[in-house]
Amino acid sequence: YLEGSGENLLFGGADPSIPNLIPSDMEIRRNYFFKPLAWKASGAWTVKNLFELKLGRRILVQGNIFENSWEDAQTGFAMVIWSVNQGGTTSWAQTADVWIRENIIRHAASGVQLTDYNTDHPEFPTLYTQRVRFDNNLWLDISQANWGGDGRLFQLASSAGQLAAIKFYHQTGFESTTLITIVSGQTQGFEFGNNIVNYGLYGIHTPAASDGAALALYMPGYLFAGNAVIGASAANYPIANFFPATLDAVGFVNAAAGDYHLAASSLYKNQGTDGIDLGADITAVLTATSGVDQ
């Protein structure tokens, strides 16, 4: 059980005194990351995010529950992942080779923010965020109305054009505002496949374009296939995707009661590019997180 007002778990944040040190080969498994809602009501606490990587390599994040992240000292992302030379003396700083799988992320202003380097101090030399993969995660109640902030499920910022190999497969996620916000720059090797996600108000949004046009402009050589984007228009997206009009049209067993397995009658059973169900493997997620929040 990990509770903290500022950040529940952070790697980085200060320059290491040992040259070339990067925390590596870590497993973060079966933890309950939690912020009590009494802190939100009181307003006396400085609240940031639930999990942040500024420095690390070869990290597995599996079977955790991340709960309650609202707008306060930050905009309310549950997770923040970037490469940060914090004080200017860590030119080797990098976050890379991160695998985030079979987690539940719920009740947050936004989901995950990925940035290539320390945009707060672009003059500090650094390496760049690369090879971050998400598999079989469940994102619930990512909501601007409930938690402030922006209601963004996924946000990417590649100010130096060096964010690379960011992959989302078999996510089930529901946000209020934006599916993917692209803040700046091109991301190389972006893949988004076999997910069930909400369009929200803006779908894929950038300063210069939206939806499929945004992918073409900001994600050279992208893969975007086998996704069910609830409420989106097929005309605005690449082919080989699906566009259920409503949440009910997806065919969950009982979304109102929190059961996001696909029913046997769902049109999205076995429709992934890999031949299996779209969205997260809910049985795998529930098995991996069983008892974590008890």
- Among 195, 213, 196, 193, CA closest to 204: 213
pLDDT of residue 117: 95
Q: Which long-range contacts (CB under 8 A, 24 or more apart) does 246-249 make?
A: 247/174, 247/198
Average pLDDT for residues 98-126, to the nearest whole number?
96
User: Over the stretch 175-231, which tens digit does the pLDDT of each residue have?
Assistant: 999 999 999 999 999 999 999 999 999 999 999 999 999 999 999 999 999 999 999
pLDDT band at 259; cut points 50, 70, 90: very high
Retrieve residue 161's tokens: 């054009």
From CA 242, how far away is CA 267, in angstroms rounded? 10
Please say if the pLDDT value at position 156 is more than 90.
yes
This prediction has a pTM of 0.97
pLDDT of residue 261: 99
**DSSP secondary structure of 204-249:** EE-SS-BHHHHHHHHSTT-EEES-EEET--GGGS-SS-B--SSSGG
pLDDT of residue 94: 98
How much of the chain exceeds pLDDT 70, in percent? 100
Tell me what the pLDDT averaged over the chain comes to: 97
- Among 175, 275, 197, CA closest to 243: 197
pLDDT band at 294; cut points 50, 70, 90: confident
From CA 280, how far away is CA 262, in angstroms rounded? 10
Asked if residue 180 lies in contact with residue 213, where contact means CB atoms within 8 angstroms, the answer is: no
User: Over the stretch 1-18, which tens digit does the pLDDT of each residue have?
Assistant: 999 999 999 999 999 999
Q: Is pLDDT larger for residue 43 or for residue 244?
A: 244
Please say if the pLDDT value at position 150 is more than 90.
yes
> Going edge to edge, which strands form the sheet with 77-81?
9-11, 51-53, 77-81, 110-115, 152-157, 178-184, 204-205
